[in-house]
Amino acid sequence: MRAALSRHRRLLAAVFAAAAAALGLAAARPHSDGVRVWVAARDLPAGATLTARDVAARFLPRAAVPSGLVRAAAGRTLSGPIRRGEPLTDARLRSAGLLDETDPAAVATPIRLADAAVARLLRPGDRVDVLAARSDNPMPARTVASSVPILAVPKPALDPDEGALIVVRTDRPQAAALARAATDSRLSITILGR
């Protein structure tokens, strides 16, 4: 057996090299039945603002698709350099920011809710009324801000007694009223229909 392998060593090496090349080509070819992803069309530096020319659509097999894919890339800014062919993920892009720059009167206002479990019910885009209730006053809770949209729901603190932080879009007078209410009241919300 050893002598037979020795005589055909070059032939076997050629067969194995051809098989490896065929498998490599099969893995690299576009997968039309896979998942469509945006990739960098060329090497791009950190801080580049993406245009339609900077990205290209490719199909990848489901097993090769990274998490955090970006569905819309044009206008977004790279947080670090990216190589040609690299899929665009949220890790490579700067966050879009909390506020729409077309509304200069809007501010992002963080508030801490008294009940941390309430934050699990919220998603960005939900609209809420923010209520303030004083524990030393038998009066009903008062509405401090009406129909404000949720911008972000950060990951809750480990200690549920600290409440939960959320970020809402308000104008400056509403932000001031919320800050005043937070000094002497417990804040809660009611979730409104969309």
- Residue 101, pLDDT > 60, answer no
Does residue 111 belong to any structural domain of this protein? yes
State the residue for tokens 């720059």.
101
Does residue 59 belong to any structural domain of this protein? yes
- Here the tokens at position 91 are 């890790």
Q: Is the pTM of this model over 0.75?
A: no
Which residue range is the domain that position 72 belongs to?
35-92
**111 and 187, same domain (yes or no):** yes
**177 and 118, same domain (yes or no):** yes
**122 and 146, same domain (yes or no):** yes
Higher pLDDT, 5 or 168: 168
**87 and 119, same domain (yes or no):** no
Do you know the residue count of the chain?
194
Does residue 139 belong to any structural domain of this protein? yes
Lowest-pLDDT range of 11-20, 51-60, 122-131, 143-152:
11-20
**71 and 137, same domain (yes or no):** no
pLDDT of residue 99: 67
Does residue 82 belong to any structural domain of this protein? yes
pLDDT tens digit string along 53-67?
999 988 888 888 888
Handedness of CA 135, 141, 146, 149 (dihedral sign): positive
164 and 119 Cβ atoms separated by less than 8 Å: yes
**44 and 84, same domain (yes or no):** yes
- Residue 95, pLDDT > 90, answer no
**60 and 123, same domain (yes or no):** no
Q: How many domains would you assign to the chain?
A: 2
Q: Give the E-state strand segments of 6-163 in sequence order.
A: 35-40, 55-60, 106-113, 127-133, 142-152
pLDDT band for 24, please (50, 70, 90 cuts): confident
93 and 75 Cβ atoms separated by less than 8 Å: no
pLDDT tens digit string along 73-89?
788 888 778 899 999 88
**167 and 119, same domain (yes or no):** yes
Does residue 20 belong to any structural domain of this protein? no
Long-range residue pairs from 28-31, CB within 8 A, at least 24 positions apart, any chain = 30/58, 30/59, 31/59, 31/60, 31/61
Does residue 22 belong to any structural domain of this protein? no
The mean pLDDT value for 131-152 works out to 89
Helices (H), 29-170: none
Give the CATH number of the domain where residue 71 resides.
3.90.1210
Does residue 12 belong to any structural domain of this protein? no
Does residue 129 belong to any structural domain of this protein? yes
> Alpha-carbon distance 46 to 83, whole Å?
11
